[in-house]
Amino acid sequence: MGPYVKGRRRERHVAKMGPGVVVTGLTLGALAVVSLLAFQANGAQDRAGGAKPVASTTTSSGPAASATPSASATPTVPPLPATSGSGTRVVYSIGSHYVWLVDPKKSPQVAPGFAVTPGSVEPAPGSYSVYSRTPSTTGTDGRQIEHVVRFAQQNGVVFGFSAAVDGATPTADSNAKTGGIRSGRPEGQLLWDFAPNGTKVVVVA
């Protein structure tokens, strides 16, 4: 009876423990399945959300709405006045304070104009000729000037083109009568090379 009883006790023990183990295993399996389904559901939701277009946050004032680049700040050169005469000449406009160098033998005939700063007195409109040139001297304002090209004298005022050695083109002193027409140094060199004595200078209004 001893072995039989011992064996029965083991069977009852296994029978008692067996269902619990099975239930535990089923519970763990069910939890694993639920977790897997939840994970897959979250992944699907993430993928679906990722496919949605993202609204742009760029405002109208951002880089995408930048204005068209502005035009060049380079000043526009006025055209050569129609009343400037003919032939090889230096043309000076009192109204626009520009100078043009015109040579019909060259192409283009008209060199690009350049701005100048007049003295306190302007020459009268008309046709003149270069009568005197000085490589360098002192201007009426005390500055060192170069490439002086004189073309007229009126009421004791000498009119001519020149350039300050320091490159300055200050506004003339209205308390003094001066006829110096100042340009930049590169432009002064161009005019000096272009206008020897006898060159026509046409002054227009």
**Would you list the DSSP string of 148-195?**
EEEEEEETTEEEEEEEETT---PPPPTTS--EEEEE-HHHHHHHHHH-
201 DSSP assignment = E
- The pLDDT value recorded for residue 188 is 97
Burial of 123 (0-12, 13-18, 19+ CB in 10 A): buried
**Which whole number is the average pLDDT over 15-20?**
46
More confident of the two residues 153 and 43: 153
134-181 confidence digits (pLDDT tens):
999 999 888 999 999 999 999 999 999 999 999 888 888 888 899 999
C-alpha 53/C-alpha 74 separation (Å) is 46
- The pLDDT value recorded for residue 14 is 40
CA angle 139, 142, 143 (to 5 degrees): 70
Structure tokens at 131: 């009568």
Reduced to 3 DSSP states, what percent helix, strand and coil does the chain have, rounded to the nearest 5?
30, 25, 45
- Region label for 63, one of left (φ > 0), alpha (ψ between -120 and 50) or beta (otherwise): alpha
- The pLDDT value recorded for residue 74 is 55
Structure tokens at 160: 């001519």
- The pLDDT value recorded for residue 21 is 42
Does the reported pTM lie above 0.85?
Answer: no
* Inter-residue contact 128 to 190 (CB < 8 Å): no
Coil, helix or strand at residue 51: coil
84-125 confidence digits (pLDDT tens):
999 999 999 999 999 999 999 999 999 989 999 999 999 999
C-alpha 77/C-alpha 116 separation (Å) is 12
C-alpha 191/C-alpha 202 separation (Å) is 14
Percentage, residues of the chain above pLDDT 90: 55
- The pLDDT value recorded for residue 75 is 62
